Amino acid sequence: MDMLPIIKELSQKTPSKILLVVLDGVGGLPQTPGGPTELAAAHTPNLDALAQKSALGLLTPVYPGMAPGSGPGHLSLFGYDPFKYLVGRGALSAIGIGAEFKDGDVAVRGNFATLDAAGLVKDRRAGRPSDAENRRVVDRLKAAIQELEGVQVSFYTESEHRFVVILRGEGLSEQVSDTDPQKTGVPPLQAEPKTASDESQRTARVLNRLSERIREVLADEPQINGALFRGISERPRFPLLSEVYHLTPACIASYPMYKGLASLVGMEVLQVEGVEDAPEGKVKALQENWARYDFFYLHFKKTDSTGEDGNFEEKVHKIELFDQLLPELLALKPDVLAITGDHSTPSVLKAHSWHPVPLLLHGPYLRNDAARRFTEDEAAKGSLGHLRGVELMPLLLAHAGKLQKYGA
């Protein structure tokens, strides 16, 4: 059930400030049965002290057993039902690489492919080229194709065989089928309009013409000589945090995916100084903008990346680095502070997982709590119990005095 319409009716503007810290993929697993998780292994004196005066619980970001991607994981934390508020693959890729992607544009996820002399798909991933090879080919396409039938065409490298096309022009639609046949030995599919509208017919025509042009331009390439299109999608139009929660929200993140997801729900994306995860730049951005917003989404990426790398020790280290920053966050005296993850990324799995993440909630109106540390095991004892990702925002709003009584 979509709770946003109900929450919208109940939420109210107040001066209180909420800080939501997302440690990407922070949940983990023991390396051996009975051993500590990454959080349990980390030396975190500041988090420990905070946990002892906070309420903890476990959060299943999306659904039991489901390892969420970044899209559903984050949308859930922002209160959006991840089974209702869907971001198409093309849109998510466009957002993830920071492509310029506006309302009305259509984003397409492309796979470079190898076609044989008869035009049949020989390799759906063109031998998994390097990113550099991908960039070389994308540069050729950029130089050769800027416009088709009055539609502006932009190419972006994603990674390996993956690239993104943004179509911009009047009268485009996402109601168009994929051209990826999902198997080899057959020709690429024609993009077909899914509706009788002019927009979907026009978009299908442009994409079919684009397939042809890409083959012409890349005809002399030995391996990357074709493209398959998937997940044709417009930029989603979601309710905004300002409308639903009456918040003035800001995003502090370094990676395009998270800035893009935040902008989809109407957060202002703040400038962050520094390279990569830039933790100090993020704290500085938070401090400098503290007076101007009443909701901050503060994202740290490296707890996930190190988990994906299977590097237990390094993930522990990234957790410890966050612990060292924590006093600066507390010094701002947020009325409500939540620390959690968008999903687990256990080093032993080297991937996102379905395990719940710990949630720490600091603010007024807390019950006593048996959890002594911000770890999975301790959070399981916490007074917040076991929540779903979408349930987090109403809880934060309530503790911040921003959610009125439901019903008389």
Interface contacts to its own copies, rule CB under 8 A: 1, 3, 6, 10, 29-30, 33-34, 37, 53, 58, 60, 62-73, 82-83, 86-87, 89, 92-93, 96, 346, 348-349, 351-356, 365-368, 370, 376-377, 380-381, 383, 385-387, 391-399, 403-408
Compare residues 227 and 261 and give the one whose CB is closer to its own copies.
261
Q: Which C-beta is closer to its own copies: that of 292 or that of 381? A: 381
Closest approach, Cβ 89 to its own copies, in A, equals: 6
We find the least distance from the C-beta atom of residue 131 to its own copies, in angstroms, to be 18
Q: Minimal distance in Å, beta carbon 387 to its own copies? A: 6
| Rounded Cα–Cα distance for residues 335 and 407 (Å) | 26
φ/ψ of 393, rounded to 5, equals -60, -50
Nearer to its own copies, 34 or 222 (CB): 34
**Which is nearer to its own copies, 202 or 402 (by Cβ)?**
402
Residue 370 parent element (H or E): none
DSSP E strand stretches across 140-253: 147-148, 151-159, 162-168, 226-234, 249-252
Nearer to its own copies, 105 or 342 (CB): 342
CB 353 within 8 A of CB 29: yes
Report the C-alpha gap between 293 and 18 in whole angstroms: 9
Q: Of 188, 349, 328, 143, which is closest to residue 135 (Cα–Cα)?
A: 143
Helix (H, G, I), strand (E, B) or coil at 342: coil
Is 269 within 8 Å of 263 (Cβ atoms)?
yes
> Is residue 336 within 8 Å of residue 363, measured between CB atoms?
yes
Nearer to its own copies, 78 or 202 (CB): 78
* DSSP classification of residue 89: H
Nearest to 57 by CA among 354, 389, 401: 389
CB of 240 to its own copies, least distance (A): 19
Q: Smallest gap, in angstroms, from Cβ of residue 335 to its own copies?
A: 15
Residue 290 vs 354, nearer CB to its own copies: 354
- Among the residues of 85-130, which ranges form H helices? 89-96
User: Hey, what are 346's tokens?
Assistant: 């256990």
**Taking the complex as a whole, how short is the minimal distance between the CB of residue 129 and its own copies, in angstroms?**
20
- Least Å from the CB of residue 383 to its own copies: 6
Would you say 123 or 342 has its CB closer to its own copies?
342
Whole-angstrom CA distances from 408 to 10, 103, 118, 191, 405 are 12, 40, 71, 53, 7
Q: What is the DSSP string of 210-230?
A: HHHHHHHHTTT-SS--EEEEE
Cα atoms in the 13 Å half-sphere on the side-chain side of 208: 14
Nearest approach in angstroms of CB 310 to its own copies is 14
